[in-house]
Amino acid sequence: MNDSLKNLSPLDGRYQNKTKQTREIFSEHALIKERIRVEIQWLNYFLTHFKPELLSEHVKKKINALDKDISDTLIERVKEIESVTNHDVKAVELAVAEQFEESEEIQSLVHIFLTSEDVNSLSYALILKNAHIVLTEWIEQIISALEDLVEKNKEVAMLARTHGQPASPTTLGKELNVFATRLKKEKSSLSEKKFFAKWGGATANYNPHLLAYPEEDWVNHSKDFLSNLGVELTKVATQIEPHDYMADLFQNIQRINNIMLDLTQDIWSYIAFDYFSLKMKNNEVGSSTMPHKINPIDFENAEGNLGLSNAILNHLTHKLTVSRLQRDLSDSTVLRNIGTGYGYLEIAVSSTLLGLSKLEANTSEISKDLDERYELLAEALQSFLRLEGKKDGYDQVKKLSRGMKMDKDTYLKAVEELIENEDYKEILKGLTPKKYLGIANKLAEQDDEI
């Protein structure tokens, strides 16, 4: 039997090929690798600034070699040690120290002045920085796919719907550009994110640091060390970094997920209206009993996985920012699930991109919905009645149009009977549902401004 069939999570089973990037960044292998890197980087910094006499050429070469290539063998050694210590970060410390067996002095300085959470907070910051590059690429791919559809359909006049009911016409391109524009705003917000770690020892007060080196500015040392890794210092903290930056990041991603949810549900509805056709794949089956069906499965798959991503990120947002007194350990097990939230998003992005690539606008069906729907011009008619000073203009048009269809002749008769201003009459008589688009075609080409 295929062992993958026994996987508990579909992220590592059914969807393994769709979560490659997430697993590369957030796996336990990746976490251990970052912890090792953090220990090596700090050892190098400490030796350089406080014990330069120990930083021989041989030690420098070994540190550089370890930092450049953290082997699978070393990572496996960490897991072997952890099986004895039952402490993941202590196992990293001991495994790194083993690499310097020729010098007990060097070994003694691995993990100097650190607590586990120093290593963890920086390791997770580095992991999230790596993930941020990929996350941004995912959003850019969705935006690009939407922009292609917007360009193709910016002039396609379409019946709009408010409350599910026919409403003033729009264009298909403009409606799609709403989602592209919203995603661009959130992508801009993502670009401003910073990543934080704490680096002050057991309770973040630099207690042993100051005793050993009372003349040193330990806050500046921390800032200097972390800045070399592209991470900011949380100066005032408990034993743990408070994770507020994570909550901010995860809420940003949840907003992105919600925009994508909105998109997938709208596309699903447009497909149901026959506004979009789906390109066929010959070997796919839409139904076990109805051979004619081509289902919008990609958008349904995306919708479900976006919901799962949001559920996990929402819990992380609320859980990680709360910890009893100096800290409790409940954050540790929760942090290990960050990758799950990203994993479900990775699946959703893949499915959405695939779904968008299959869409073809059914312009004849879209056009048919606008033909002879002159009740859609009721807004324009009542607006001109207001301009003429008729305070009951709205009610007059309401009597003719509410809940009813209005053909061209009925509309023209209403214009003739209700409108007095000849210029207004000319404008309204020349109007058709397909022409009543406002600046929708321009809005299909813009982000926020005209």
How far apart CA 172 and CA 150 sit, in angstroms, is 7
Question: In this model, does residue 289 exceed pLDDT 50?
Answer: no
Tens digit of pLDDT for each residue in 383-436?
999 999 988 877 877 777 676 778 899 899 889 989 999 999 999 999 999 999
How far apart CA 192 and CA 228 sit, in angstroms, is 19
Tens digit of pLDDT for each residue in 220-258?
999 999 999 999 999 999 999 999 999 999 999 999 999
Per-residue confidence (pLDDT) for residue 392, from 0 to 100: 83
* Averaged pLDDT for residues 260-265: 98
CATH 1.20.200.10 fits 117-367, yes or no: yes
How far apart CA 182 and CA 342 sit, in angstroms, is 20
Same fold, 18-112 and 117-367: no
Q: Which DSSP letter does residue 375 get?
A: G
As its CATH architecture, domain 18-112 has Orthogonal Bundle (1.10)
291 pLDDT tier (thresholds 50, 70, 90) = very low
163 is catalytic: yes
Ordered by start, the domain boundaries in the chain are: 18-112, 117-367, 372-432
Question: In this model, does residue 450 exceed pLDDT 50?
Answer: no
- The full DSSP string for 99-148 is TTTT-HHHHHHTTTT--HHHHHHHHHHHHHHHHHHHHHHHHHHHHHHHHH
User: Of 1.10.40.30, 2.60.40.420, 1.10.1740.10, 1.20.140.90, which CATH number belongs to 372-432?
Assistant: 1.10.40.30
Tens digit of pLDDT for each residue in 337-392?
999 999 999 999 999 999 999 999 999 999 999 988 999 998 999 899 999 998 88
How far apart CA 37 and CA 35 sit, in angstroms, is 5
Helix axis angle, 172-191 to 244-272, nearest 10°? 170
Q: Is there a contact between 276 and 329 (Cβ–Cβ < 8 Å)?
A: no
**Sequence-ordered strand ranges (E) for 120-272:** 157-162, 165-171, 196-197, 232-233
Per-residue confidence (pLDDT) for residue 401, from 0 to 100: 66
Per-residue confidence (pLDDT) for residue 395, from 0 to 100: 83
How far apart CA 34 and CA 40 sit, in angstroms, is 10
Q: Which of 170, 176, 174, 173 is nearest to 158 (CA)?
A: 170
How far apart CA 135 and CA 127 sit, in angstroms, is 12
Per-residue confidence (pLDDT) for residue 5, from 0 to 100: 77
Per-residue confidence (pLDDT) for residue 293, from 0 to 100: 42
* Averaged pLDDT for residues 267-282: 86
How far apart CA 343 and CA 339 sit, in angstroms, is 6
Q: Which of 137, 149, 140, 138 is nearest to 357 (CA)?
A: 149
Average per-residue pLDDT for the chain: 92
Q: Is there a contact between 180 and 147 (Cβ–Cβ < 8 Å)?
A: yes
Question: In this model, does residue 177 exceed pLDDT 80?
Answer: yes
Tens digit of pLDDT for each residue in 1-22?
667 778 888 898 889 999 999 9
Tokens describing residue 208: 């042993």
Percent of the chain predicted with pLDDT > 90: 81
Q: Is there a contact between 366 and 355 (Cβ–Cβ < 8 Å)?
A: no
Q: How many other C-beta atoms can be found within 10 angstroms of the C-beta atom of residue 168?
A: 17
* Averaged pLDDT for residues 14-34: 95
Strand partners, 344: none
Instruction: Report phi then psi at 213, rounded to 5.
Output: -135, 75
Tens digit of pLDDT for each residue in 119-176?
999 999 999 999 999 999 999 999 999 999 999 999 999 999 999 998 999 999 999 9
49 is catalytic: no
How far apart CA 423 and CA 346 sit, in angstroms, is 56
**From 83, 163, 188, 292, active-site residue:** 163
Per-residue confidence (pLDDT) for residue 1, from 0 to 100: 61
How far apart CA 356 and CA 349 sit, in angstroms, is 10
Q: How many other C-beta atoms can be found within 10 angstroms of the C-beta atom of residue 371?
A: 13
Q: Which DSSP letter does residue 266 get?
A: H
Question: In this model, does residue 285 exceed pLDDT 60?
Answer: no
> Residue 418: CB partners within 8 Å, gap ≥ 6?
381, 385, 393, 396, 397
Question: In this model, does residue 99 exceed pLDDT 90?
Answer: yes
Per-residue confidence (pLDDT) for residue 283, from 0 to 100: 54
**From 9, 108, 144, 287, active-site residue:** 287
